[in-house]
Amino acid sequence: MPFSSLGLLPVLQRAVEELGFVQPTPVQAAAIGPMLAGRDLLVQARTGSGKTAAFALPLLQQWLNGAPQAPKPVRGLVLVPTRELALQVGLVLRDVSSRMPGLAKIAVVFGGVSINPQMMGLRGGADIVVATPGRLLDLVRNNALKLGQVETLVLDEADRLLDLGFNEELSEVLALLPAQRQTVFCSATFPPAVKALAEQLLVEPQEVRIAELVAALPDIEQRAITVDAERRTSLLKHLVLASPDDRALVFVATKYATELVADKLGRVGIRAGYFHGEMSQGARTATLDAFKAGELQVLVATDMAARGLHIDALPVVVNYDLPRAAEDHIHRIGRTGRAGGKGLAISFITADSEAHFRLIEKRQGQRVPREVVAGFEPTAVMAAVPAAVADQSAGADDTPSTTPAGAGTGLDPNGGVKGKRPSKKDKLRAAAADAASDRAARKPR
């Protein structure tokens, strides 16, 4: 299916051809047409599938079809959870826009840097804004932006946006937007609570689901190595030194761990850097550039900092700590094996994390054989695995499970115990219900 069959204007068709897009990816083929038609969308496609262009091209076509105004009103708004993803989305929009007549003004704004240059850049308005929620609200409060004319809202990495820490900010942003608008949810994963909220915010959405997540990752080999918790750093050193030409992105649970593990690797001559959300933007950019250029062999990162990272030809991802949320496993291993390349994802399995890794296996519908590296044989006794989890993951090699992680086990997919108190998601969902009802009443059918 060529781009010409999707309803894009000739100028956009030429732009994507100049960028080397031969034909649309499956998510682009499925999402661009409905988005151009004004439909609300619920898009599920893995990292690296081309979903950024799937909403970027319709946003630019919307701008082309609009009447010029001064100052420029914000017509398209893309909310993202991290600075890195904001920069990545902005790059795609600007690459396409640069090949169009009458360059669209794309504003990319995020926290962690001075707000003053961003306010200066917004003088005269902006056509499309890509933002993290907190900084967007700061700009609105400083009268640098108005959101009353937004026609399309895109929530990219929607699962993380609606996770703890973003709910209240997102609720404030939604209150500033017109009730009659187009809304698009994009993410690699949709936990049940997030999908329930999306159903409250979207009006008769069209669902776009591109294959199964595991089936979409045929070139990522997964390994699960059992090891004592206190020997993970030594095992990591051993693996890195055994493959000195391979770069590795190593995921840990905390900011402190990024710095500690990187320091210990450096002591044995491994070129390692750390990457977390509390670093300055300049330090994060410099570290990431060094890793991409091969000046660093290992980058130790947290989940929040790593969302949105795009690193070409990354050979290896290591789960030093397992992700707290089972769904985040897909995001992590999706950093390797991109654009048709091959990748390797290694998970360290300790006695205490075996049960949680069973939930991850069940979520992805794939059993990963356990292995031991000579010299690093574990001595700790594995924690007991709940019977329901063990039963449902034991046959995953032959019969992948499609049941949501944790269903019927009493365990939350994030690794905790389900409680009965209303969560922030529940409160936001309730608040959104009224707004959705209002939108449904106003939106033309």
Segment 373-396 mean pLDDT: 64
Query: Token pair of 143, please?
Result: 């009268």
Q: What is the pLDDT of residue 265?
A: 97
Q: Is the pLDDT of residue 33 over 90?
A: yes
Q: Is this structure's pTM higher than 0.75?
A: no
State both tokens at 269.
């001559």
Asked if 172 and 226 sit in the same domain, the reply is no
For a pLDDT cut of 70, what percent of the chain falls above it?
79
The range of the structural domain enclosing residue 380 comes to 220-394
Residues 126 and 96 grouped into a single domain: yes
What are the CA-CA distances from residue 310 to residues 19, 57, 234, 314 (Å)? 18, 20, 28, 9
Beta carbons within 10 angstroms of residue 68's beta carbon: 8
Q: Could you tell me if 253 and 202 lie in one domain?
A: no
Neighbours of 179 (CB within 10 A): 14
**136 and 277 fall within a common domain:** no
By C-alpha distance, which of 98, 120, 99, 100 is closest to 109?
120
Phi, psi torsion values for 393, nearest 5 degrees: -105, -15
Would residue 419 count as lying in a domain?
no
Instruction: Tell me: do 308 and 346 sit in the same domain.
Output: yes
Per the DSSP assignment, residues forming a β-bridge with 364 are none
CA dihedral 431, 435, 436, 441 (to 10 degrees): 150
Same domain, 122 and 252: no
3-state per-residue secondary structure call for 187-211: ECCCCHHHHHHHHHHCCCCEEEECC
**Number of independent structural domains in the chain:** 2
387-445: per-residue pLDDT in tens? 444 444 444 433 333 223 333 222 233 333 333 444 554 555 555 555 554 554 445 44
**Which one-letter amino acid corresponds to residue 119?**
M
- Look at residue 158 and tell me if it is in a domain: yes
Mean pLDDT of 47-62: 88
- Residues 263, 372: one domain? yes
Which token pair is 267?
Answer: 């002591």
* The pLDDT of residue 226 is above 60: yes
Place of tokens 């999707």: 6
Q: Is 315 exposed, middle or buried (0-12, 13-18, 19+ CB in 10 A)?
A: middle
Residues 6+ apart with CB under 8 A from 328: 189, 303
Domain co-membership, 67 together with 13 = yes
Query: 46: closest CA among 153, 166, 184, 186?
Result: 186
Q: Is residue 402 part of a domain?
A: no
Sorting pLDDT into bands at 50, 70 and 90, what band is 340?
Answer: low
Whether 249 shows a pLDDT value over 60: the answer reads yes
Distance, C-alpha 257 to centroid of its chain: 22
- CA–CA distance, 352 with 333 (Å, rounded to integer): 21
Name the percent of the chain lying above pLDDT 90. 48
Asked whether residue 418 is assigned to any structural domain, the reply reads no
Token readout for 134 is 């907190």
Three-state DSSP class for residue 22? coil
pLDDT band at 58 (very low <50, low <70, confident <90, very high): very high
pLDDT tens digits along 83-123: 888 988 998 999 899 888 878 999 999 998 899 999 999 99
Q: Is 399 inside any structural domain?
A: no
| Contacts with 285 (C-beta within 8 Å, 6 or more apart), sequence order | none
Same domain, 39 and 184: yes
Residues 68 and 195 in one domain: yes
430 located within any domain = yes
Among 340, 330, 80, which Cα is nearest to 188's?
A: 330
Pairing mode, if any, of strands 152-156 and 182-187?
A: parallel
Residue 146 lies in a domain: yes
If you average pLDDT over residues 377-385, what whole number do you get? 73
Length of the chain counted residue by residue: 445
pLDDT above 90 for 322: yes
Token look-up 């991802």 returns 317
In a shared domain, residues 188 and 242: no
Q: Which helix (H) or strand (E) holds 361?
A: helix 354-364
DSSP character at residue 372: -
CATH number at residue 248: 3.40.50.300
The amino acid present at 320, given as its one-letter code, is Y
Instruction: Retrieve residue 444's tokens.
Output: 């033309």
The pLDDT, as a whole number, for residue 339 is: 56
Helix (H) or strand (E) holding 18: helix 10-18
When comparing pLDDT for 435 and 38, which is higher? 38
| Domain boundary, last residue among 394, 410, 434 | 394
d(CA 361, CA 323): 12
Q: Are 169 and 155 in contact (CB under 8 A)?
A: no
Instruction: Name residue 163's amino acid.
Output: D
Domain boundary at 355, 371, 394, which? 394
Strand blocks (E) in 311-412: 316-319, 343-349, 370-371
Does 271 lie in the same domain as 189? no
- C-alpha 300, offset from chain centre: 18
Query: CB-hemisphere CA count at 13 Å for 383?
Result: 14
pLDDT band at 234 (very low <50, low <70, confident <90, very high): very high
**Predicted pLDDT of residue 335:** 80
pLDDT tens sequence across 269-288: 999 999 987 888 788 888 98
Residue 18 within a domain: yes
